[in-house]
Structure 1
Amino acid sequence: MEALRASSSLQLSMISTRLPTTPTENLMFNLSFSSIPNSSFSSLRRTTAKSKLFSTVSSSTISTEPIDPPQPELEILTQEEKFDWFSQWYPVMPVCDLDKRIPHAKKVMGLDIVVWWDRNESAWKVFDDTCPHRLAPLSEGRIDQWGRLQCVYHGWCFNGSGDCKFIPQAPPDGPPVHTFKKACVAVYPSTVQNDIVWFWPNTDPQYKDILLKKKPPYIPELDDPSYTKIMANREIPYGYEVLIENLMDPAHVPYAHFGIMKIPNANNRPKADREGGIPLDINVQTLDIDGFLGKHQYGSSRFIPPCVYFAFPNFKSDQSNGSVSTAGTKKELSSHVAQRRALLVFICIPVSPGKSRLIWTFPRNFAVWIDQIVPRWMFHVRGNLILDSDLYLLHVEERKIMEVGSSNWQKACFVPTKSDANVVAFRKWLRKYSGGQVDWGTKFTGTLPPSPPREQLMDRYWSHCGQLPQLQCGL
């Protein structure tokens, strides 16, 4: 592993950037966020209303007196303010991690679905993972020679519209039982956007054309050919709430990922401890049912419920590399650096209580050649090493939160500094618009599954590699 890291660092360090480490490594959980253009996400509802800023105690305040954490505001929910978890688009998997030759079993929002490639329509399809015959999982089947989804149990075959096209046990001269409505499979509306398969978690026919009325959040940079992007995904053994708030928290990076990630030292300030944590001035400026915007001293970040959280690192011109240049060269360099753009995109998928799925990608429009020569599996190794380093503590933390009750989160947790503003904002959004937790409908009560042994939690093969056959060559 050390040799692998050294090899990766050697290749990537050839790039001249202002970052102290490689772009691929240092973009993840970077503390520098820049301003977000209003047009970056076309599906966002623009609003001019400003919500109350979160009242957290300034991290620069020095006092020997105990400080009580800010108390949650009393809020009265109305029917219009309720967030409908089953009226949203959900990402399933990146297209690059789906094999067109076989069906794939996935779970999202407690729903068992099967994703498969319909070559007759040249489209990814998302079905209920249940054969109407005897309720066997269709994901255990195959794609037959005519491009139909075939159930492995009795051979029933279905087209991309969910219609049953063949029942081997039905006499050819008998009634056409395969045309009966009960022989059809429930089909979810689906689409591919930003090279990710999305689906709408309702098979009611009234939502067949929901894509014409509402689209998934769109990230233009992921479709821009001038940007490089490598996607990865992983099954996470703790819930959606803990996953997304952890990604919103830059303050944990130098501690939970110490020795794995190199964090730039802002203004070369002296370290107060070994890890070099610093005060972070994060403020939440807007919060409504469509999410919230967070302002950092280095830029901005945004949460688009239920799944998308992204941030923009800020790349400023500097001469820290010691190069000498004329005034004209400096102007040209400044113009070049100002055009650099990079995003940190985290897509957090609620799977079931205590389980989630993460899709991450860090598109950038500089040092693009790195991803053309460095194997994709090396990016996966690095990303999963970071996820591993705080996986167990987050799994345990989630159970402690459940013990006190998710609605009591802010009473149980002491969050006196502005570095926790994004996390406090997410918990406030969750409490205000969803009663403090994911609405699983009738699927679950919210009780967490039994906690497996630590060794099983840390088993990366079944949570990542085993689900991506194209990566097994890198093991």
Structure 2
Amino acid sequence: MTVKKLDVNGFFAKREWGDSEFIAPCIYHAYTADQVDGTETSAETKKASPASRKLSLIFIGVPVSPGHSRLIWTFPRNFGVWIDKIVPRWFFHIGQNLILDSDLYLLHVQERKIENIGGSKNWQNACFVPTKSDALVVGFRRWLNKYSDGEVDWRGKFSGALLPSPPRERLLERYWSHVVNCKSCNTAHKGLNALEIILQVVSVGLIGIVAATKQYAMSMVARTTMVSMAIICFAASKWLAHFIKKIFHYHDYNHALS
């Protein structure tokens, strides 16, 4: 990655698989070169194959208060869109949220280290960015220092000081930061919660039927089958409760092993 142009409007950068740009003050846009089957195309190839593959990654990070931003992102492309009509969106969010949560935690730690060494103008004393893949980070910090005096202009609404770090469970909390605002995840959360309750009711109901039915009125095979189904339903409800908490509420992990 190399930053080719930087001015008050942001900067433009080149990378091996395409280009990217920071559009001041809060939009990042990365996009591929025209491709067909993963290969860059010439002007002649484009004419011969108008359906060249293109994809973009667009991030809009809007500061809302010191230490907090609203993230809006999209991943537009002109190929493989059929999968979005088959697989529900919340299923893709499982992996995407894991990445975002990991980045969120690292950025949370980083911004406090930067504050401790005197603010964004001295950020290089807190961060080690030796590789070409760090070029965009350096580019953004250069832009922030040159055109924004190294900080967000809160216009008197906030002092700019960061609040103390909250407990890890609250920092990586996912329900109020994403699920409640995402139609797909919110619908899945409600549906899976309802399924958990149904499994528990079925489990209790089956045990109740076995207990209330006289021994001679039900064969041993049927009784064993119903008890087994009750156990399976109960175990499934417990696994589902763990899945719901991990995916839609709080997923802790060791960043050193991620």
Deviation of 1:415 after TM superposition, in Å, equals: 2.6
The one of 303, 320, 341 aligned to 2:22: 303
Tell me which residue corresponds to 1:386: 99
Tell me which residue corresponds to 1:373: 86
Tell me which residue corresponds to 1:342: 55
Superposed counterparts of 1:140-179, under 5 Å:
none
Superposed counterparts of 1:393-472, under 5 Å:
393-404=106-117, 405-468=119-182, 471-472=185-186
Can you give the 5+ residue segments of structure 2 that lack an aligned partner in the other structure? 190-258
Deviation of 1:471 after TM superposition, in Å, equals: 3.0
Check the 8 A contact 2:57/2:75 in 1, yes or no. Answer: yes
Residues 385 and 412 of structure 1, relative CA distance in 2, 3 Å threshold: closer
| Cα distance between partner residues in 2 of 1:373 and 1:305 | 36
Deviation of 1:334 after TM superposition, in Å, equals: 10
Check the 8 A contact 2:66/2:162 in 1, yes or no. Answer: yes
Residues 309 and 422 of structure 1, relative CA distance in 2, 3 Å threshold: same
Which one-letter code corresponds to 2:137 in the other structure? V
Q: TM-score, normalised on structure 2?
A: 0.64
Which one-letter code corresponds to 2:16 in the other structure? Q
| Cα distance between partner residues in 2 of 1:350 and 1:465 | 20
| Cα distance between partner residues in 1 of 2:171 and 2:45 | 51
Larger Rg: 2
| Cα distance between partner residues in 2 of 1:316 and 1:469 | 33
Check the 8 A contact 2:36/2:52 in 1, yes or no. Answer: no
| Cα distance between partner residues in 2 of 1:463 and 1:425 | 28
The SS at the match of 2:176 is helix
| Cα distance between partner residues in 1 of 2:36 and 2:187 | 40
| Runs of 4+ with >6 A deviation | 331-334
Can you give the 5+ residue segments of structure 1 that lack an aligned partner in the other structure? 1-281, 321-330
Which one-letter code corresponds to 2:19 in the other structure? S
The count of corresponding residues between Structure 1 and Structure 2 is: 184
Deviation of 1:379 after TM superposition, in Å, equals: 2.7
Deviation of 1:473 after TM superposition, in Å, equals: 2.3
| Cα distance between partner residues in 1 of 2:126 and 2:103 | 21
Residues 414 and 376 of structure 1, relative CA distance in 2, 3 Å threshold: closer
The SS at the match of 2:157 is coil
Deviation sequence 1:207-234 (CA, Å, 0-9, x none): xxxxxxxxxxxxxxxxxxxxxxxxxxxx
Deviation sequence 1:18-68 (CA, Å, 0-9, x none): xxxxxxxxxxxxxxxxxxxxxxxxxxxxxxxxxxxxxxxxxxxxxxxxxxx
Q: TM-score, normalised on structure 1?
A: 0.36
Check the 8 A contact 1:315/1:338 in 2, yes or no. Answer: no
Check the 8 A contact 1:317/1:334 in 2, yes or no. Answer: no
RMSD: 2.5
Tell me which residue corresponds to 1:200: none
- Structure 1 or 2: more helix by fraction: 2
The SS at the match of 1:425 is helix
Which one-letter code corresponds to 1:466 in the other structure? V
The one of 60, 74, 83 aligned to 1:361: 74
Deviation of 1:382 after TM superposition, in Å, equals: 2.8
Which one-letter code corresponds to 2:106 in the other structure? L
Check the 8 A contact 2:5/2:11 in 1, yes or no. Answer: yes
Deviation sequence 1:291-349 (CA, Å, 0-9, x none): 000111222100101121111134645699xxxxxxxxxx9899548711111111111
| Cα distance between partner residues in 1 of 2:124 and 2:50 | 41
Deviation of 1:425 after TM superposition, in Å, equals: 0.8
Q: Which has the higher contact order (CA 8 A, sep 6+)?
A: 1
